[in-house]
C-alpha cells in the first residue's frame, strides 16, 4: 500500500474508515474512471468471521443492480489483500446532512423514504436482509438521490452462511428487538424497524431511544414503548406519525408487511399535498390569497381583470429592452473609438510620427520604439511603422519589427512582409527579429486566447442582460420556489388535536 496502488486501481485520498474496511478514492487504469475502493485491512483480515462477512458483502452487492443501491463493479483477492470497487457517491451521507440541518421537514423525509423503500423492497425480494439500516449507510448524490450502501452485515435468507458469528451485530440505536435477542430467522421486517428509527431521527433530530450507554438503549428497544414523533415535530402529519409507530412495533408481525406497503402509505400521505390538500384535510380552496382576491375582482362589464401583464405588453417590453441594449452597445463602441482618436492621436502620435520621418537616425529609432510602446496605433502610425521596414538601415528595420511585435493586434496585416524579411533579409539581426515578430502576428491572426476569452465574456454579459426581462417578468425562479414542497401548517382545530395527542 506504500505505492498507493492496488492493481488495477490507483489509490488517492482516504474517504472513510470503519470496522469493516477502509474506503479510498481510486482511479481505474482501464478507462480513468474515478471509483470508491473498499479495502479490508491486514489486521482485520486475520479474523475469519470478518473476512467471510467482507466476501459476502461483495457477493451480495454484485447481485443487486438498482438505482438506489450503490453499484459494485467487482472484487478481487490479491496477495491476501481483499478489496472491491464501487461507484463513488460524493454527496455525503444522510447522517452528515442531518448533523448540519438538525432535522428534515416531513415532505423531505417522505421523498427520501420512498427512495429507501424502493431499495429495500428490491433487496428483500431477492432474499437480502441488510441488518444495518441507519442514516450513515444512506449516501446522497450531488443531485439528492439516495443510495443504500454497506451490506457487510446483510444475510441471504435462502442460504445464510454466517449464522452464529455476529448474529446480534448492527448499530444499537436502530436494532430491532428480534435482532438484539438473536432470534432467527431475521426477516424483511427487521429492516423496516430500523427504517422506522431512521424516519424518527430525520424528523426529530434524535433516535427514538437515547440513554447513557448502549446496554440501556438495547433494553429500551426490547421493553419500552417508543415516543410518538408528533410530540417532537408538531407539523408531522398524523398518518406519518402512525406509520412510524407501526414500524417500531416490538412484534415483527405487527409491522407493515413489506417496504412496498410502507411506500404506498408514504405516497398516500404525500399525494394530497401535491394536489393542494394538506395532510389535515383542508383544501387549497379554503385559503384565499391576495393574488387570488385580486384576480377575482370584476370591472363594470363583469369581466375578470387580469392582475398580470398581457402577452402583448410582455412582448413590447422585450422589444424595448433589446433595442435599448443594442443602442447601448453601439454607443459604447462609438465612444471608445472617438475617445481613442481624441486622447491618443492628439497627445503623442503626431510628434513621434514626425520624428520617425526625420533625418536624425537616433530620433528615428526612439520614435519607432515609442510608437510600439503606446497603442493601439492609428492609420498614420501604422504606415510610419510599416515604412520603417523598408529602411536601408538595419537597426531601423529591427526597431520597426519590434514595434510591430508590441502591437500585433493592429499590424497583423503586414505579416506577409515580415515573413519575407525573415526569409530573405541580408542582416542576421533583422531576420531573427522578423521571426519573433512573425510569431507574434501569427498568434493574433489565429484569434488568441485572450481574444476568445474577452469575446466569450462579452457574449455572456449581453446574453444575461437580454435574458433579464424574461427573468423579471415571467419569474420562473419564483414559480419554482413557490412550488417547492413545504410542510403545511395545520388549521387551529388540528392544532388543538395535536396538543392533546400522546
Active site residues: 132
The residue whose grid cell reads 493592429 is: 410
Question: What's the rounded Cα separation, in Å, for the pair 117 and 214?
Answer: 27
CA 155 to chain centre: 34
Q: Which residues contact 184 (CB under 8 A, 6 or more apart)?
A: 163, 167
Kindly give the residue spans of alpha helices, DSSP state H, lying in 285-310.
290-295
Question: What's the rounded Cα separation, in Å, for the pair 305 and 252?
Answer: 60
Q: Which residues contact 7 (CB under 8 A, 6 or more apart)?
A: 29, 78
Pair 358, 326: CB distance under 8 Å: no
Pair 4, 14: CB distance under 8 Å: no
Compute the CA torsion angle 35, 40, 41, 42 (nearest 10 deg).
-130
Grid cell at residue 263: 411506500
Between the alpha carbon of residue 306 and those of residues 129, 290, 309, 387, 477, the distances in Å are 58, 13, 8, 71, 21
Question: What's the rounded Cα separation, in Å, for the pair 270 and 237?
Answer: 10
- What are the backbone dihedrals phi and psi of residue 36, each rounded to the nearest 5 degrees, phi first? -105, 130
**Closest residue by Cα to residue 149 from 217, 91, 99, 189:** 91
Helix count and strand count (H, E) for the chain: 21, 10
Pair 218, 180: CB distance under 8 Å: yes
Q: Which helix (H) or strand (E) holds 61?
A: helix 48-63
Question: What's the rounded Cα separation, in Å, for the pair 325 and 469?
Answer: 12
Q: Which helix (H) or strand (E) holds 15?
A: strand 9-18
Question: What's the rounded Cα separation, in Å, for the pair 94 and 141?
Answer: 10
Taking each helix axis as running N to C, give the angle between helix 188-204 and helix 106-125, from 0 to 180 degrees, rounded to the nearest 10.
170
Grid cell at residue 164: 452464529
Q: Which helix (H) or strand (E) holds 467?
A: helix 449-473
The residue whose grid cell reads 489486521 is: 43
Question: What's the rounded Cα separation, in Å, for the pair 81 and 75?
Answer: 10
Grid cell at residue 182: 438473536
Amino acid at each position: 500500500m506504500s505505492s498507493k496502488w492496488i492493481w488495477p486501481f490507483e489509490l488517492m485520498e482516504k474517504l472513510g474508515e470503519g470496522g469493516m474496511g477502509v474506503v479510498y478514492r481510486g482511479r481505474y487504469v482501464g478507462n480513468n474512471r474515478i471509483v470508491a475502493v473498499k479495502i479490508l485491512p491486514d489486521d482485520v483480515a486475520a479474523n475469519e468471521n470478518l473476512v467471510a462477512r467482507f466476501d459476502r458483502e461483495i457477493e451480495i452487492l454484485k447481485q443487486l443492480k438498482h438505482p438506489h443501491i450503490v453499484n459494485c463493479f467487482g472484487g478481487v483477492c490479491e496477495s491476501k489483500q481483499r478489496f472491491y470497487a464501487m461507484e463513488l457517491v460524493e454527496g455525503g451521507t444522510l447522517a452528515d446532512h442531518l448533523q448540519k440541518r438538525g432535522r428534515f421537514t416531513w415532505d423531505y423525509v417522505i421523498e427520501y423514504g420512498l427512495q429507501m423503500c424502493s431499495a429495500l423492497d428490491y433487496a428483500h425480494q431477492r432474499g437480502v436482509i441488510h441488518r444495518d439500516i441507519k442514516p450513515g449507510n444512506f449516501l446522497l448524490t450531488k443531485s439528492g438521490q439516495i443510495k443504500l450502501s454497506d451490506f457487510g452485515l446483510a444475510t441471504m435468507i435462502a442460504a445464510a452462511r454466517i449464522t452464529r458469528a455476529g448474529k446480534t451485530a448492527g448499530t444499537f440505536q436502530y436494532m430491532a428487538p428480534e435482532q438484539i435477542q438473536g432470534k432467527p430467522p431475521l426477516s424483511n421486517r427487521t429492516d423496516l424497524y430500523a427504517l422506522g428509527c431512521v424516519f424518527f431521527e430525520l424528523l426529530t433530530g434524535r433516535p427514538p431511544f437515547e440513554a447513557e450507554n448502549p446496554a440501556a438503549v438495547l433494553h429500551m428497544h426490547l421493553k419500552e414503548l417508543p415516543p410518538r414523533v408528533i410530540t417532537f415535530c408538531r407539523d408531522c402529519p398524523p398518518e406519518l406519525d402512525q406509520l412510524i409507530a407501526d414500524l417500531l412495533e416490538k412484534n415483527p408481525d405487527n409491522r407493515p408487511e413489506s417496504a412496498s406497503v410502507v411506500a404506498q402509505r408514504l405516497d398516500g400521505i404525500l399525494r394530497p399535498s401535491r394536489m393542494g390538500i394538506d395532510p389535515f384535510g383542508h383544501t387549497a380552496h379554503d385559503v384565499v390569497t391576495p393574488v387570488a382576491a385580486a384576480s377575482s375582482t370584476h370591472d363594470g362589464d363583469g369581466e375578470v381583470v387580469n392582475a398580470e401583464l398581457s402577452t402583448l405588453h410582455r412582448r413590447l417590453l422585450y422589444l424595448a429592452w433589446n433595442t435599448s441594449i443594442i443602442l447601448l452597445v453601439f454607443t459604447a463602441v462609438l465612444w471608445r473609438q472617438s475617445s481613442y482618436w481624441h486622447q491618443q492621436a492628439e497627445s503623442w502620435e503626431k510628434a513621434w510620427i514626425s520624428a520617425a520621418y526625420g533625418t536624425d537616425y537616433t530620433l528615428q529609432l526612439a520614435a519607432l520604439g515609442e510608437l510600439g510602446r503606446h497603442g493601439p496605433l492609428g492609420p498614420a502610425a501604422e504606415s510610419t511603422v510599416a515604412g520603417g521596414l523598408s529602411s536601408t538601415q538595419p537597426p531601423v528595420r529591427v526597431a520597426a519589427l519590434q514595434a510591430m511585435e508590441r502591437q500585433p493586434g493592429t499590424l497583423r496585416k503586414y505579416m506577409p512582409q515580415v515573413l519575407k524579411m525573415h526569409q530573405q533579409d541580408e542582416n542576421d539581426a533583422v531576420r531573427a527579429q522578423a521571426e519573433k515578430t512573425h510569431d507574434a502576428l501569427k498568434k493574433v491572426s489565429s484569434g488568441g486566447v485572450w481574444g476568445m476569452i474577452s469575446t466569450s465574456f462579452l457574449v455572456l454579459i449581453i446574453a444575461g442582460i437580454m435574458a433579464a426581462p424574461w427573468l423579471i417578468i415571467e419569474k420562473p425562479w419564483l414559480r419554482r420556489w413557490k412550488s417547492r414542497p413545504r410542510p403545511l401548517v395545520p388549521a387551529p382545530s388540528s392544532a388543538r388535536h395535536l396538543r392533546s395527542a400522546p
